[in-house]
Chains A and B, each alone.
Chain A
Amino acid sequence: MAADNLGKRVGQTLRILDVPFRIVGIYETGVPFEEGGGVVSLHDAQALFGQPHKVSFLGIWLDDPNQAETVRRQIEARFPEVAVSQASDFADDVVDLKLTRASTWAIAFLALLVGGAGMTNTMVMSVFERTREIGVLRALGWRRGRVLWMILRESLALSLLGGVAGLVAGIAVGEMLSVIPLMTGFVQAHFSIGLFLQALGTALVLGAVGGVYPAWRASRMRPVEALRYE
């Protein structure tokens, strides 16, 4: 990624902090953070940053990631002057990741708002168009609660259908993005049952919230007025 961005190829020269380096290879790891940088020898890095015989951090690769917390405590106990973090802690501290996360939440919130408003609008129109029908149901002895539940159930069914459609579309788009060359590495879709359940649950909640007002309005209609509606 860095090579593409800088327009460099193997054999060419790259100046880092005004020090020329010859490019001897280009690597791909699939991790945007890594592909956006480069690798030099430890000796060259120490000279480049004026830190002879020093390292800024050591990366420890564990055979069993579940031991991460145990290993961290052991290192901190043995080397109190060393700050030990897990990769996930590091990710949390990185500002651009925080910004990305905040943006994602903002977009998700907007999507929920628009989705909820859309649901309410759809159900209000549906109730409006069926005013006479609702009047007939009430005239035939249907209770307010039954009418309310009928509208709410429709709202939930619609939102569930929308949630499933959204899931399918999301999976399709995620898979598409991961095969587009420029996007590969930037976006890696990761799906899980928990994510699907969360998405469907959100859709249902939106359906319930969006359908409550129209359902209430339908149940409050006076039969004699609703029957006169044309």
Chain B
Amino acid sequence: MGNETIVETRDLIKIYGDGAEVRALDGVNMRVARGEFVSVMGPSGSGKSTLLNMLGALDRPTGGTVLVNEQDMAGVRDLDTFRARTVGFIFQLHNLIPTLTARENVEVPMRGQPIGARARRSRAKELLELVGLAERMNHLPNQLSGGERQRVAIARSLANEPAIVLADEPTGDLDSQSSADVIALMHHLNRELGTTFIVVTHDPAVARQTDRILVMRDGRIVHEHTVGTPFEEDLAAFRRSGLGKAILAEDEAALASFGLDERAALRRILEGVA
């Protein structure tokens, strides 16, 4: 993962409605480095999906700047080509075409691009092998499990070797095991291919598997958190807890309110960590 910025927003604003205005984005400033695996978390209505729509050129901002791969989106005339070549999308409901096989679905973004039919088929096959679905490439979506469908969607998102992949609640419709598999796959692809992933999720378990978490509320990024190892994450959680704060501050009165002395409190924390 390098330090080169691949996505940047400056005072990004999106307002919906003419009468009763809704400020879906209220001055978002963010930066994502090339090769990062970033998650965007927040409650419903916080602007996560709207942010993704701006980054993916699915919608135009009301104000501010969006830079993707050093391109100012305001200056991009051909958004269709931009979406085809620079961005890959993974949707919550996989959104595979039901009448096409897995391989044909992966080929969809490549149609209309300067790539021959044979090369297209070969690339689709290669991507399906990458996501572990080589033997299912001629199956229709209704013959695949939820997790498999989402893996086809991941393969599809990589069809044109995009600079960034935007995933909107990719595990929202999956059971816990499939969710874990999908996120693990995205993690693997991020490391293997160096593709930048930006994932919108409301699931902290998913967010903890990314490199960095951006927390949104009311159209703004209110908190950024670099994700450490699980041990570091647990330690950080204890540090933030009432007991942890009391120990760090050597606050005897606060410790007493827990009914513990310092040694017992430390033991409680270590037992929790172990």
Contact = CB atoms under 8 A, between A and B. Distances in A.
A62 interface: no
Contacts of B97: 133, 136
A142 interface: yes
Interface stretch (B107-115, B117-125, B206-214, B223-231): B107-115
The number of chain A residues touching the other chain, given as a range, is: 10 to 19
Contacts of A139: 56, 58, 83, 89
Contact of A141 (B53, B59, B85): B85
Contacts of A144: 80
**Which residue, A138, A139, A142, A227, has most C-beta atoms of chain B within 10 A?**
A139
Contact of B84 (A136, A140, A223, A224): A140
A161 B145 CA distance: 35
A143 to B, nearest CB: 5
A-side binding surface: helix, strand, loop or mixed?
A: helix
A143 B111 CA distance: 10
Interface string A111-141: 0000000000000000000001100111111
Interface in B77-121: 80-85, 89, 91, 95, 97, 108-109, 111-113
A79 to B, nearest CB: 73
Interface string B126-167: 000000000000000000000000000000100010000000
A101 interface: no
A106 B85 CA distance: 53
Interface string B55-90: 010110000000000000000000011111100010
Interface string A138-162: 1111111010000000000000000
B89 A140 contact: yes
B80 A138 contact: yes
Contacts of A136: 91, 95, 97
A227 B58 contact: yes
Given A223-B58, A224-B53, A142 B95 contact: no
A144 B83 CA distance: 13
Contacts of B58: 139, 223-224, 227
Interface residues of B, number: 21
**Which residue, A136, A138, A139, A141, has most C-beta atoms of chain B within 10 A?**
A141
A140 B109 contact: yes
A132 B95 CA distance: 8
A227 B89 CA distance: 12
B80 A142 contact: yes
Nearest to A146: B112
A133 B96 CA distance: 8
Nearest to B89: A139
A132 B111 CA distance: 19
A132 B96 CA distance: 10
Interface of B: 53, 56, 58-59, 80-85, 89, 91, 95, 97, 108-109, 111-113, 156, 160
Given A139-B58, A223-B58, 13 more contacts: A132-B95, A133-B95, A139-B83, A140-B108, A141-B84, A141-B85, A142-B80, A142-B111, A142-B112, A143-B80, A146-B112, A224-B58, A227-B91
30 contacts: A132-B95, A133-B95, A136-B91, A136-B95, A136-B97, A137-B108, A139-B58, A139-B89, A140-B83, A140-B84, A140-B89, A140-B108, A140-B156, A141-B80, A141-B81, A141-B85, A141-B109, A141-B112, A142-B80, A142-B84, A142-B108, A142-B111, A143-B80, A143-B112, A144-B80, A223-B58, A224-B53, A224-B59, A227-B58, A227-B95
- 5 tightest A-B CB contacts, nearest first: A141-B84, A141-B83, A140-B109, A224-B58, A136-B95
